[in-house]
Structure 1
Amino acid sequence: MPAPTRRRRWLTICAITATAGLVAIPASAAPGGHGGPFGVRALDRLAAQREHTVGAAPRLKPEDGDDGNEADEIAEGADQYAEARTAPGVVAPGAYGAAWRSLNDLKRTKGSWRHVTGLAYDSDDPRYRDIDSNSSGGSGEVTGRMAAMAADDDGYVYAGSAGGGVWRSRTGGGHWRSISDRLPSQSTGALAVDGAGRLWLGTGEANTNADAYLGSGVYVLSDPHHGAFSARSRVGGDELESTTVRQLRFGGGKVWAATSEGVWSHSTKNLRGHWKLEFAPNPDYLPGGSKATDAHAAYKNITNDIAVDPKNPSRVILAVGWRSGDDYNGFYTRTAGGWRRITSGFGELPTDAGNVGTVTFARSADGSRYYAIDQSPEQMATNPDSGLQGIYRAASPFGPWTRIADYKQLAADGSALTTAGYMPGVQAWYNQFLTVDPADPEHVYAGLEEVYETKDGGASWSTVGPYWNFNFPCWSIDPARQSGSCSQTTHSDQHGVAIGRYHGRSYVYVGNDGGAYRRPVRGSQDSSGHATDWASLNDGTIDTLQYYSVGVGKDPDHHGVAVTGGLQDNGQSILRSDDKVMGSDFGGDGGDTLTDPANGCNLAEEYVYLAVQVTQNCAVNDGSWMTDPAKATSYNVAPADNATGEARFIAPLAADLRNSATWIAGGRHIWVQDHGYAIRSGSEWRSVYDLGAGRTATAVAASGGKVYAAWCGPCNEDGFARGIAVGNADGTGWHDISLPATGADGTVPNRYLSGFAVDPKNAEHVFLTVNGFSRHWTEGPGAGAGHVFESTDGGTTWKDVSANLPDVPADSAVVTPNGGLVLATDLGVVHRAPGHSEWRRVGSLPAVAVLQLKLSPDGGTLYAATHGRGIQAIGVRDLG
């Protein structure tokens, strides 16, 4: 059987937004930053690699000069997710915290949310081995991104998710329960078990990726085997609100926190009292400082890790710096005269600002060995292969350090990245973990895109968790041959690691973009050095899936409905009405989704940048397209803006409410096609309106042939502009709506326009949702006020109907059959009953972002795509 010719790569999306306060960090705005890790998106190459017709599926070809463009995609996605929540300016800390308090003060509707996706999600489901699937890659059961892991010697494991809170297992992994639902932030930055057995949580994911939220501080759980985090368990005051926490380290009776606003410390004995700011390289840029509203403020005090000398806890090394580089990047230590920068005596570990980026430390239990991973801003900007400077070891955190691995060495030791056109460390600013076996100071696990292991202090390495199994000699797409050949691997993109014991045996636990996995610390390997004993811990009791979209249609073969949705780095999920396991019919990232209400197996799925695929059988396939290309059952139908790079990372896609065969897609142009799910080529789209150079669609909607399109351009805070265009699907009547440029009171603000909800009974009646924060929080021209606006004349004029709605980013809305309005926000769902102006909170979801809402085919059930807690549903009648 030939090698696979077409696979979605897992290296995908990863801006800092906030829960309990927003400070965005888009890469392009940062000092020394780039639109992507290498300054170019190479979208022409991306499009060329992704285009295919049935019978012609070009292989990813790094030899053609693929310069790591999917790492660029991550940074591009980071820019755009942040732009939506920060433009036209800088958002002050505390915005999300205030919104969460206001949301909790709202009256509630009746009814409770039903968890739709609370079962195992098998990325290798053998039913879905069509040309665009990653099935048979070896990642097994997956869930949403895990940013941190912790474990103890009693079989307890703790998994901290990017947007779905902290989870506990009493059985060495699996049978999970959430223990952080009452916190105002569900974003995890760091987890650690201290010497007294307490569990410490630093909120705010610190991976500087597209959909990471800031946190509300540090919390401690004295009895983690039984208790749950609450607001009362917060350590200190509000000093660490609206930050990210990348690491928590202990020494000398203190806990040290490496945050996005400097290094802080607190007593581990008296948990009250304020946190102490130990070091901030640029304190004027901190909240309250003279430069706090500067557009670059979020980049100026980023710290990554702390190494504490256990023999003398007063001796500390700080790793400080922004991933894309700044003058202050480097290593710092404390002297009698204060903190000073280390400029020499470190050995092979660089100390110059250009080569110190994201850094992770680890030390052995006996204190005899220290290890470090260093990502280089200079290399990230100039080397298309990797941003990894190296992995290092030393006998003391003060050095001298010796390099024990670089990306070339790791690539030669069984890496699968080269088969995907990359090299280890291509995303070293996003993917990092490091830990030492407590029983052996020479035994180390390192995480980048893959998982690496050395048993001899770095003299030799094995890729125990390869990127995927495709292209290995053991791989086969045939389900009958797959079992017993290639071993299961982990999902790609590593973030968290811990070592603990269960039933007397030591295990290593890793967290990545696919959830949590484990293997024995001293596990088995095949002849290539790949582990043969990884086990997925994503058994369905833990659902932290990060949906961008949701689609619902009648199940054509069974009673009930088929529910699908697009996910961060976990493709497109498909759940049929009689399924016991959810499958994945498309790989990579999953963006927007269209589902035929009358037939849930008629699907259109966006990857990124309007790369749209369509299937009419749920993409069911046994892989027979490998030998007979005509047997592929999904088709690339991307409109032209995909190839030119003139669409947003997650670009808008919609079907006409009254005619599901008419689709609208938005990039620079507004595209229409009338073939519905029978479309087979991107050439079947026609451009009905050009928004103009530098503009790109942020939302589209249509009903009865009337089309609404929102746009931005420029889309960041530097000259941010937004607008609305309306016209007809046949190309007639198109024009821009006149909106006040500065977002005067009562008019549409000069912020990101995120969605339309058209009244199904009257196409001239439409609601507009607005992201970001009002001027109370946003320093920028025209931030205005309000998040929901109504038009009864086809978009010509708009009225603010936000009323008592909390000041929280609004993401999408739907009009219910009885004329009510339901709104998805970054902190949950609210509802306005027909004939009323007051908003009520829907159910009691944790503080999780809800990015899209859809109604069931009969209009009786509302489905919510949450970005951290899977897909949730509630009866429309229960809304009141």
Structure 2
Amino acid sequence: MSKKRLSLLTGSLVLVIIFALLYATNKSTEKASTQIKEHDEVKEIENMIKGPGKRDDWFISQKVFPNKTLPQEAFQKATKQAKQLKETTMKELPELKNEKWTFMGPKIVGGRIVDMAVDPQQKDTVYAAAATGGVWKSVDAGKSFTAAWDDNNTQSMGALTVSPDGTLYAGTGEANPGGGSIVFGGTGIYKSTDKGENWESIGLKESGAIGRIALNPKNPQQIFVAAAGQLFNPGGERGLYRSQDGGKTWDLVLKGKNNTTGAVDIAIDPVNPNRIYAAMWDHVRYPNNRVYGGEGSGIYRSTDGGNTWEQLTNGLPASDKNLGRIGIALSQTQPDRLYAITIKSDGYYEGFYISENGGDTWTKQEVSRTFSNAQSSFGWWFGRIWVDPKDEKHVFVAGVNMMESKDGGITWASSRGIHADQHAVAWDPKQPGRVYVGNDGGVYRSEENGLVTGKWEKAVDLPATQFYTMDVSQQDITRISGGTQDNGSIRSWGKDDWNEYYGGDGLKNLINYKDKEKVYACYQYGSCAWSEDGGNTMTYFTNKTVSDRRNWLSPLLFDPNDPSIMYYAGNRVNRSTDSGKTWEVISPSLTEGKSEDSYPYGTITTIAVSKSNGKVLYAGTDDGRLWKTSDLGKNWTEIINKTLPNRWVTKLKVDAKNENYVYATFSGFRNGEDSAHVFKSEDGGKTWENISGNLPNTPVNNLIIDPKNRHKLYIATDVGVFMSKNDGKRWYSLGSGMPMAPITDLVMHESTNTLFASTFGRGIFEIKLK
């Protein structure tokens, strides 16, 4: 990176952009060729990166602000309320339920896979658990998948395993503390005896997140579950649980040292199943602070089937505040041989350890820089080891890249040809050499025993993509683009199927409503670019804007009167009159950042522009502030009203015909409060009315005002899409066929009266409104 370019960036913005550049270029070997070259200078900046990865901060912070905890029961309650509202809709407005949501894609992109299991009986059958997309089943060796999970259950998954008779066990709630799934948590353990057609809840509903499920190989009725616990709350069902009766009853057999310690990994000796190993992880999350390690972290062993336990310490790192997540695995052919990887509490690699005597003693293995760097600065995102069931020296270790050793951990090779960020590996015992891998890009299959430098085939039909935002061309309804978790900004045109046109974690996407070839895409912390050829070539523009801090999902929008006029914000509002080529700052800082913040905090999260009066703008921030200008930014007035909640402002919308009619939505659970999430003002923000009414008590992520009837509203929430025909006096569930995945964005295609919704884990849907 040149000194000339660095001179254009000041203060904390330098660190923000540097992190975004590194992360965007470190994602996948499949990144689009249109990625801007100046953003590929990884080697020059990687030594400047400090601190843990920040991929999860946007979703987490808006959900928990301003509290320090997010009660698990709040989401469960909201899910129940959403189901009840569907029943109310059937009784009062059945025509709304008769309207159907249709899946629009993508299928080929995939999404984060956290665990996999191969069916022991049926040929070519494999199951995959998607982070916020439920369980999927393939009967063609991983080429295509169909849903094998109830759409009305929580879609957040953590673990998956299968017994010798084909019984499936699924643990909900992702134990990898990153992405949106950790926000939504889980509702316990589920069991299926019919290949995923039906699922039965079998307990541990307050476990929060499940890191692993393991069965006694000689007695599948004995089940062990690593309950990581609720990420934001101490206590609960946290630790290692055992069932002796196939999941009918559960006992806590290994409790953590404190109320923030849970279990995250399990290994069972196949020869002597009474010998069991468990990895415990002491961690909890606060809005501005991660505590991803502690004295409760460590490896434990039981030699009596889980009745009693001892901590293994001989050669392993000490259990203290610096010890974070641990992954453990043993060899099926030589069970005395164990492998463990340890991560520091700050997310960086600590060590790789080998035991040759069942865990009595451990030796720290010298590894290459390539191996340690694979954990990057967010090793708590991985924490997995897999050993070839036929070769005790053939080992895989999860990381940004998959690391493979064929000599028992002495030397390592790094994967190529597969997406970044590895989470799952499964061998097919019925097909020698066949190995499946799950990562942030979906499912891959190898017929070469998982050779990381070999040939991999990606699933072409796995609709589990996590969207942050989306847009639809008003000129061409088939043109859809969106920003996705770890799969960049993708589009439905340009090739035969969905394809990436801008990298990193895709965030805000826009399509000019008068010229479909003019498109915009951003990755993390407001790193945005424009294109005049539909995204084939992208030109970076963030360095032409002025802000000290920029949100993970920085707002970018068109003026509704003229799409060549655009607005962009970090902690200050910027305006462009030439389609984003040049920018001028039109506001002071509208919020404050603090030095102790662990990520850019004190930023603008939403902007609204009046169509009836283009000089009127509204802005909302991540620290709960609302602002208004009536003279195009010359003067800004903070809107202070006791009616409004002090929470993250997710969206502001202004009525097209009257700039004084404005709506504000907010995010953040508060235990025991009324459903205060959608507010309306009819006097330009002087007074506000809570119009949340009968909505579920859940974060609201977006709002659409019907262009033909301003009293008709549509909202996107964590538990579904809802609509009101009377300006929020009464809300109803909109349509059927939408899974219970978080709805992140809504777009109305005006000429066809079609509403589009993006989900965080199940792709994009549309509904034809009658």
TM-score when scaled to structure 1?
0.75
Measure, in 2, the Cα distance between the counterparts of 1:326 and 1:41: 31
Q: In the alignment, what sits opposite 1:458?
A: 409
Q: 1:522: which partner in 2?
A: 449
* Post-superposition CA distance 1:683-718 (Å, at most 9, x none): x232334214323112211123221111134xxxxx
Question: SS of 1:757's equivalent?
Answer: strand
The CA deviation string for residues 13-72 of structure 1, in whole angstroms up to 9 with x for no partner, is xxxxxxxxxxxxxxxxxxxxxxxxxx9993364478899x99983651534563446x74
Is the 2:154–2:740 Cα contact (8 Å) retained in structure 1? yes
Shift of 1:667: 1.7
Q: How does 1:47-446 map to 2 (within 5 A)?
A: 57=38, 59-63=40-44, 66-68=47-49, 72=52, 74-75=53-54, 77-89=55-67, 90-106=69-85, 107=89, 109=96, 110-120=98-108, 142-153=109-120, 154-212=123-181, 213-224=184-195, 227-230=196-199, 233-236=200-203, 239-241=204-206, 243-251=208-216, 253-261=221-229, 262-267=238-243, 269-273=245-249, 275-282=250-257, 285=259, 300-322=260-282, 324-333=292-301, 342=311, 344-345=313-314, 347=315, 349-353=316-320, 356-377=323-344, 380=346, 387-404=348-365, 406-408=367-369, 410=371, 424-446=375-397
Q: Which residue of 1 aligns with 2:471?
A: 551
CA deviation profile, 1:772-829 (whole Å, cap 9, x unmatched):
22441xxxxxx66411111111122110111111111111110112221000001111
- Opposite residue 847 of structure 1, the aligned amino acid is M
Q: Is the 8 A contact 2:481 2:490 kept in 1?
A: yes
Match of 2:677 in 1: 787
Shift of 1:304: 1.6
The structural deviation recorded for 1:433 is 2.8
> 8 Å contact 1:864–1:871 — kept in the other structure?
yes
Q: What is the deviation of 1:838?
A: 1.6
**Which letter maps to 2:277?**
I
Query: Aligned partners of 2:35 and 2:269: how far apart in 1?
Result: 60
Shift in CA distance, 67/668, structure 1 to aligned 2, threshold 3 Å: same
Q: Which moved more, 1:657-666 or 1:423-432?
A: 423-432
* Residues 64 and 111 of structure 1, relative CA distance in 2, 3 Å threshold: closer
- Which one of the candidate residues 817, 838, 851 is aligned to 2:744? 851
Asked if 1:802 corresponds to 2:692, the answer is yes
Whether the 8 Å CA contact 1:388–1:406 is kept in 2: the answer is no
Counterpart among 605, 611, 619 of residue 527 in structure 2: 611
Assess if the C-alpha contact under 8 Å between 1:342 and 1:351 holds in 2. no
| Relative contact order higher in (CA < 8 Å, ≥ 6 apart) | 1
477, 487, 505: which is aligned to 1:589? Answer: 505
Q: How many residues align?
A: 704
Give the 3-state SS of the residue equivalent to 1:80 in structure 2.
helix
Q: Residues 317 and 692 of structure 1: is their aligned pair in 2 closer, same or farther, counting only changes over 3 Å?
A: same
Residue 554 (structure 1) shift = 4.5
Match of 1:702 in 2: 609
CA contact (8 A) 2:692 2:728 kept: no
Q: How far apart are 1:427 and its partner, in Å?
A: 3.0
Q: Give the aligned residue type for 2:562.
A: N
CA distance in 2, matches of 1:351, 1:756: 50
Tell me whether 1:736 sits opposite 2:701 in the alignment: no
- Residues 655-694 of structure 1: pairs in structure 2 closer than 5 A: 655-676=558-579, 679-681=580-582, 684-694=583-593
Bigger shift: residues 590-599 or 453-462: 453-462
Contact 1:496 1:511 in 2 (8 A): yes
CA distance in 1, matches of 2:106, 2:271: 47
Tell me, in whole angstroms, the C-alpha distance in 1 between the residues paired with 2:177 and 2:722: 29
Q: Compared with structure 1, are the counterparts of its residues 96 and 344 closer, same or farther at alpha carbon in structure 2 (3 Å cutoff)?
A: closer
Seen in structure 2, the aligned counterparts of structure 1 residues 332 and 434 have a Cα distance that, compared at 3 Å, is closer
Q: Give, in angstroms, the shift of residue 588 of structure 1.
A: 1.1
List alignment gaps of at least 5 residues for structure 1. 6-38, 121-141, 286-299, 382-386, 412-421, 467-488, 525-529, 621-632, 714-721, 741-746, 777-782
1:57 aligned counterpart, secondary structure: helix
In structure 2, the CA distance between the partners of 1:353 and 1:568, relative to structure 1 (3 Å rule), is: same
Q: Retained in 1: the 8 A contact 2:312–2:360?
A: no
Question: Do 1:641 and 1:669's aligned partners in 2 also have CA atoms closer than 8 Å?
Answer: no
Give the C-alpha shift of residue 760 in structure 1: 1.8
- Which residue number corresponds to residue 780 of structure 1? none
1:554-594: CA deviations, max 9, x gaps? 46xxx643110111111111113x96411111111111122
**Cα deviations by residue, 1:595-626 (Å, 9 ceiling, x for unpaired):** 11222221111212121101111122xxxxxx
Counterpart residue number, 1:499: 427
Q: What is the distance in 2 between the residues matched to 1:435 and 1:448? A: 12
Q: Distance in 1 between matches of 2:410 and 2:175?
A: 31
CA contact (8 A) 1:450 1:493 kept: yes
Native 8 Å contact 2:20 2:525 kept in 1: no
Compute the displacement of 1:203 (Å).
Answer: 0.6
**Structure 1 pair 216–256 and aligned structure 2 pair: CA distance change class (3 A):** same
User: Residue 511 of structure 1 aligns with which residue?
Assistant: 438
- Over residues 312-351 of structure 1, what are the superposed CA-to-partner deviations in whole Å (9 max), with x where a residue is unaligned? 4444333112463212222234599986663643x3x324
Residue of structure 2 in register with 1:831 after alignment: 723
Conservation of the 8 A alpha-carbon contact between 2:483 and 2:506 = yes
Shift of 1:161: 0.5
Spell out, residue by residue over 1:144-185, the C-alpha distance to the aligned partner (whole angstroms, 9 max, x if none). 111111113432111111111110001111221101134521
Within 2, Cα distance between the matches of 1:113 and 1:841? 12
CA RMSD, Structure 1 to Structure 2 (Å) = 3.1
Give secondary structure in 2 for the equivalent of 1:101. helix
Distance change in 2, residues 1:876/1:193 (3 Å): same
Is this contact kept in 2: 1:810–1:823, CA < 8 A?
yes
Which amino acid counterpart does residue 43 of structure 1 have in structure 2?
Answer: V
CA contact (8 A) 1:816 1:876 kept: no
Change (3 A) 1:643 1:838: closer
**What one-letter code is carried by the residue in structure 2 that aligns with 1:358?**
R
- The whole-number CA distance in structure 1 between the counterparts of 2:684 and 2:752 is 24
Code of the residue aligned with 2:741 in structure 1: it is V
Deviates more, 1:849-858 or 1:315-324: 315-324
Shift of 1:369: 4.7
1:54, 1:505 → 2: CA distance?
39
Do the aligned partners of 1:388 and 1:424 also contact (CA within 8 Å) in 2? yes
The answer (yes or no) to whether the contact 1:172–1:501 under 8 Å persists in 2 is no
- 1:763/1:850 CA distance change after superposition, 3 Å: same
Give the whole-Å Cα distance in 1 for the aligned partners of 2:152 and 2:356.
Answer: 40
8 Å contact kept, 2:328–2:341: no
State the TM-score, normalized to the length of structure 2: 0.85
- Cα offsets for 1:438-495 (capped at 9, x unmatched): 22222222221111222222233222x23xxxxxxxxxxxxxxxxxxxxxx1100001
The CA distance in 2 between the partners of 1:371 and 1:188, in whole Å, is 27
Stretches of structure 2 that go unaligned for 5 or more consecutive residues are 3-11, 26-33, 91-95, 230-237, 284-291, 594-601
CA contact (8 A) 1:364 1:440 kept: yes
